[in-house]
Amino acid sequence: MSFTVPVNVLPSKGRGYKIDQISLRPFTYRQLLDYSRLPHSTVVQRVRRDMELLSTDVDLKEVSLLDFDALVLLKKCISYTQNKDMTFDWINEAGKIQKVSINADNVDWTEYPDELYDIKSIILGGEELKVKIPTVNDFAITLNKMYLPRGDESDYKIAVLLSSLGFNDSTEPSKLEKTVSNAIWDEILLLDHFYSLLSGTIKKVKVVDDSTGKEVEVSISVLATDMFQCLRLNQTISEHKIIYKSKSSSRHN
């Protein structure tokens, strides 16, 4: 079973794609076990884990980094449920577990501004650097080549910028990495602005906190943490799929 996603409905609106659609399949038991065992305590580790998950369905060279978060969410969604309606556990302000439901077709993607596609290059460290919108594969190569002291949000941001500034094709990648990392004054603002154009594909989900009655915004990435728990919340075992030896046999809860 596979689900077809037209690239023109993704956050990038299909810009830069050579294919018209992407097919995603629910993850198998083996894939779920493998995914669950991979390290995911840092931002970079979580990204690597999701890249491995997505690579089972599509060539990462064909996927824009702009659509990475959206496709990972859709992949998880069709793996939890057949109708794209998902339920998650969420800890509200009172510290109580609350059920949160969303539909993948109604997720509000942040649209990328035209400015991103109009930028030809930026001046950094006195040099003109050509700008490109990287594929997920470009980003994976950058992560493998660059220095990642902590694997945290800072390393992740610099990796996104480097993959967009020709790091993988550079004859002096270490120099480029230092140029980005050591930027000062208005160049800091330049890099931060450019990163803001490249990021933020999934808006937060609005949830009414049962303990306060107030509407709050919750990140989807916070909701979809424990894969097996998400499956338990969204699936039940059909009784006819377990055949007992006799009528007197009973299941253990």
Question: What is the tens place of the pLDDT at every residue in 173-220?
Answer: 999 999 999 999 999 999 999 999 998 666 677 889 999 999 998 776
pLDDT at site 24: 94
pLDDT at site 201: 62
Task: Tell me if 187 is assigned to some domain.
Answer: yes
Q: Into how many domains does the chain fold? A: 2
CB 50 within 8 A of CB 72: yes
Task: Tell me if 203 is assigned to some domain.
Answer: no
pLDDT at site 64: 96
Paired tokens of 165: 């500034």
Q: Is 112 helix (H, G, I), strand (E, B) or coil?
A: coil
> Per-residue pLDDT tens for 98-114?
988 887 777 777 778 89
Residues 34 and 89 in one domain: yes
pLDDT at site 197: 92
pLDDT at site 20: 96
Paired tokens of 147: 């220095």
pLDDT at site 249: 53
pLDDT at site 91: 87
Residues 54 and 179 in one domain: no
Task: Tell me if 73 is assigned to some domain.
Answer: yes
Task: Tell me if 70 is assigned to some domain.
Answer: yes
Of 80, 106, 65, 66, whose CA–CA distance to 24 is shortest? 80
Give the domain range for residue 131.
Answer: 114-198
Residues 101 and 127 in one domain: no
252 alpha carbon, distance to own chain's centre: 37
Residues 85 and 174 in one domain: no
Chain position carrying tokens 């993607």: 109
pLDDT at site 55: 94
Residue ranges of the chain with per-residue pLDDT less than 70: 200-203, 220-225, 247-253
Residues 120 and 172 in one domain: yes
Task: Tell me if 10 is assigned to some domain.
Answer: yes
pLDDT at site 234: 84
**Which ranges in the chain belong to alpha helices (H)?**
29-37, 43-54, 68-80, 114-118, 136-145, 153-164, 173-181, 186-198, 220-223, 227-234
Residues 50 and 85 in one domain: yes
Residues 25 and 90 in one domain: yes
pLDDT at site 90: 84
Q: How far apart are CA 40 and CA 86, in angstroms?
A: 22
Residues 96 and 126 in one domain: no
Task: Tell me if 206 is assigned to some domain.
Answer: no
Going by their DSSP bridges, the two strands 3-6 and 21-24 should be labelled as: antiparallel
Residues 101 and 68 in one domain: yes
Extract long-range pairs of 226-232: CB within 8 Å, 24+ residues apart: 227/32, 227/35, 227/36, 227/76, 228/32, 228/36, 229/89, 230/76, 230/80, 230/86, 230/88, 231/32, 231/79, 231/80
Residues 175 and 158 in one domain: yes
55 alpha carbon, distance to own chain's centre: 13
